[in-house]
Structure 1
Amino acid sequence: MKIILVNPLQENPCMPGPPKLILNEGGVFPPQGLLYLATYLKKFSRHEVKILDCIAEALDYAGVETRLAQEKPDVVGVTLTTLYLGDGYRILQIVKKISKDIITIAGGPHPTLFPKQTIKLPEVDYAVCGEADYILGEMLDRIETKKPLDDMEGVLSKTSPNKEVKQLFIDKLDDLPLVDYTLLPYNKYHSILSTNNPVTVMMTSRGCPFKCAYCPQAGTKIRKRNAKIVADEIEQYIKLGIKDILFFDELFTLEHERVKELCDEFLRRNLKFRFHIRTRIRDVNKDIIKLLKKSGCRLIQFGVESGTARIQKLMNKNLDLDKVRQVIKMTRQEGILTYGNFMLGSPTETKEEMQATIDFAKSSRLDFAVFAITLLLPKTEYYNQAAAQGKIKEDFWEKYILNPLVPIDNAYWPDFTKEFLEEMCKKGYNEFYFRPWYIWNYLTRILSPAQLTTHAKAAFHVLKSFSLSKLTGK
């Protein structure tokens, strides 16, 4: 059988967000989940598999329809995310428009969170809850021989839509084969924060044990890959001419011994590449930062989120803000770029507290900052608080996921208007990026002429989107 795995467009978010031009300038990244699935099928099954990355290929919906019609697949698997469910759903509609005989499989974060709602979508034949690497081959075998899938763990079908499903987990990540990166258009992936393109992303671990109030995937088991296998994958990328890697682990430095294992292996093999990581403020010290720098780390992304102690506590983060400043300073001193994530609009947060977060981002001397509006994401503590307090009149997520072509009007904390939060977000970007110290710092720490061009384009789109008159006051 022939299966096409589709990474959908991101044209239609669940509610209006940053303009597409700004998102595109930020970067285009490979769909690692689909890559693992395709690699496993290619190695261990007799089925033909291809990946269609609609974002990297810059396809519109007409282009997607043309490509899928040309490929004539027997099965199409589509990654669904809740925030862009409308785009995934449109792909499913296109598939069934081409031929009702094409079997559709929905996988990814959304069916994992909402398996029973996903299988109710008319265009979905099967929904998978969790990591499908080990079962997708068997699913295709059964589909080909017209054998029922009702007894398969983690799989819902039209004939068993209400069955209780347990999320599929791969405990031993080292059992997965090294990804076959040639299954993707690997020269088309890029990041605004990288020194050179193309880039790739990879994970040395999966999961996060912490329970932040705004996160729908809080409290998941940490699973780690062997340092030698991680280095093997990096060597593969270097051979393809890719020397910038973004590690998408939630907590790269959670265990210091593991960081040492990874970095020592990178150094032992003399791997010449640059990398970025994401981690917590609590999990770094001077020795770890020095080792990361020596191994090729060029940027660390910190989840700071708030510049006030009260909101830190509300988020279940409880960061010491003085410690945050110290770690940022220490990281900069070692020559590693710093990137801070911030959220505006937590429950009961005041305008003054939001401004305090903006001021904290400025005073901490970060190299980059992102200000996001806090969404009441499904099945989070924040969302449950809003429901318990009667702040929301209906379960807007349940309504949206059953009709994803109609966006949500407002998924923010109901005490705030959407317009107010958007203005505060714009204010954050304006005050952080358009100040003399930042412009001077940026120009003196710029890493390459190519970056200067890319960042200038992104800045233009920010100005255009946020309205030049609002930012300059003219």
Structure 2
Amino acid sequence: MIFDPGNLSEKTKIGGSLKHHLPKLGLLYVASSLERAGHDILFQDLGANYKSNKDFINLLKDQKPKYLCCSVVVTEWPNAKRILKLVKKHLPNLVIIVGGPQPTAIREKTLSECQEIDYVVLGEGEITIVDLLDALENNKDPHFVEGILYKQEDKYIFTEDRKFVHDLDSLSFPAWHFLDFQKYSMSVAGKFKRGNDGYIITSRGCPYTCIFCDKSVFKHRYRSRSAENIIEEIEMLVKKYGVKNIMFFDDLFTLDKQRVKKICDLIKTKKLDFAWTCQARLDSVDEDLLKNMASAGCMQIGYGVETGSERLQKFIRKNIDFNYAKKIIKLTKNLGIETKGFFMLGFPTETKEEMNTTIDLAIELDLDIAVFSLVTPYPGTDLYILIENQMIGKDWSKFSPLGSSNLVYVPETMTKKELLKIYKKAFIKFYLRPTYLLKKLLSVLKHPYYAERYFSVIKPLFKSIK
């Protein structure tokens, strides 16, 4: 069985309070690889199916799988450990295999913190999981399986590193048939059409070296799928599953401009009707590319700006040119593509003045949506290595992907109270500007559906800073 452990308390129904829920593409890729290798798969997403831990244990007892596989990100680790410990207690012979960013980043700590785990799959898992199950099914020594970690007596055994999948077109599409699309939804802020939502990753790896990004799984080497392969999956999602909104999950969708242009051309040639969003570096797009994207249904681009301080731009190795950023964001908006900007507050050595400069830059850029987060040192990042000893505990459940007010780090230049005050100020100053409110009111009058979208952005943001 392959399952997604979710990220909520064991005392609640997992996923019961989620406003939106996204499937894990990594697990769906693993499922399709195992199916292609001839394995029978049971797929269970606890978040989407609202299963309590007790329900899940009963399901396992009823289905009697030989192996239990899951993928874990850092925010899910506390809940995943609770579930896996409970599973092993009730089903001691069930082989537990764990992969994903968290175990890949902390490695042997995964096994020391949760000894119920039998094997850890490191990095990309599509080929490794097939080889591992083949070894276990045929009583082969797992030491010869590349890319895994396990404990043998009192020793941690790391096998030889697994080489990256260079030909991403060779992988099967994610096992979309396991999903009930009605149970999944991206944030309303990213939805531009009513209908099912889809999620695609078209490339892996990012050649940039920003200190806050976790590249423990895909690393720095950029690899991409062909435009034809991507369009084939899009066509399946749109025509077979009724998908109307697609989010491209790539770290850097626009790195290869010619590939993106070809994707856009094929979308138009095949007359595929859907809206899509992506993320991009400001210096990885230009006017010609943006025109192609707009004509092919791109409705929103998320740009990582991070900070308004030139000093900190160098420190975090982002190195964005602010003048070019202003030009690109204005051009994006003029082409009818919504702009979202990502900013972080609370970098090491950052002053209150620099934080205020970041807030002012967000306003000056005139973005449609600004997402402010508190600096979060994820395991596997250079930032984590730099400030690990300065963190306020290591309660992984407080590591929010949106950087909520649950602090795990406060720079030495200010107090916790001062940092939270500026964090709150960022949202108020950006979203409660009269000019911003007037623009959104006018857009809502033209497109009533947008009212739901904008309120969905503002409400949770302000709730998180109370």
Give the TM interval when normalised to the shorter protein.
0.7 to 0.9
Q: Is the 8 A contact 2:97 2:117 kept in 1?
A: yes
Distance in structure 1 (CA, Å) of the matches to 2:387 and 2:453: 40
> What does 1:52-451 correspond to in 2, within 5 Å?
52-120=44-112, 121-159=114-152, 161-163=156-158, 165-191=160-186, 192=188, 193-195=190-192, 196-217=194-215, 220-239=220-239, 240-386=241-387, 392=390, 411-415=408-412, 416-446=414-444, 449-451=448-450
Where 1:245 maps in the other structure, the secondary structure is: strand
Q: Taking structure 1 as the reference length, what is the TM-score of the superposition? A: 0.86
CA 1:99–1:295 in structure 2 vs 1: closer, same or farther (change >3 Å)? same
**Deviating more after overlay: 51-60 vs 414-423:** 414-423
The Cα shift of 1:181 comes to 0.9
- 2:403 is aligned to none
**Structure 2: stretches of 5+ with no match in the other structure:** 401-405
CA 1:410–1:440 in structure 2 vs 1: closer, same or farther (change >3 Å)? closer
The Cα shift of 1:134 comes to 1.4
2:7 to 2, 6, 10: 10
The Cα shift of 1:342 comes to 0.3
Distance in structure 2 (CA, Å) of the matches to 1:241 and 1:393: 45
- 1:466 is aligned to 465
Matched residues, number? 446
2:29 to 25, 36, 39: 36
- 1:452 is aligned to 451
CA 1:369–1:259 in structure 2 vs 1: closer, same or farther (change >3 Å)? same
Q: Is the 8 A contact 1:279 1:303 kept in 2?
A: yes
Identity of paired residues, percent?
32
The Cα shift of 1:420 comes to 3.3
Distance in structure 2 (CA, Å) of the matches to 1:35 and 1:332: 34
CA 1:42–1:451 in structure 2 vs 1: closer, same or farther (change >3 Å)? farther
The Cα shift of 1:367 comes to 0.5
Q: Taking structure 2 as the reference length, what is the TM-score of the superposition? A: 0.88
Distance in structure 1 (CA, Å) of the matches to 2:8 and 2:357: 33
Deviations 1:35-55 (A, max 9, x none): 11111111222x211221122
Q: Is the 8 A contact 2:121 2:129 kept in 1?
A: no
Distance in structure 2 (CA, Å) of the matches to 1:407 and 1:248: 20
Q: Is the 8 A contact 2:237 2:243 kept in 1?
A: yes
Where 2:144 maps in the other structure, the secondary structure is: coil
**Partner AA of 1:411 in structure 2:** V
The Cα shift of 1:463 comes to 4.2
Distance in structure 2 (CA, Å) of the matches to 1:172 and 1:263: 22
Where 1:190 maps in the other structure, the secondary structure is: coil
CA 1:315–1:461 in structure 2 vs 1: closer, same or farther (change >3 Å)? closer
Distance in structure 1 (CA, Å) of the matches to 2:398 and 2:191: 36
CA 1:86–1:274 in structure 2 vs 1: closer, same or farther (change >3 Å)? same
CA 1:90–1:165 in structure 2 vs 1: closer, same or farther (change >3 Å)? farther
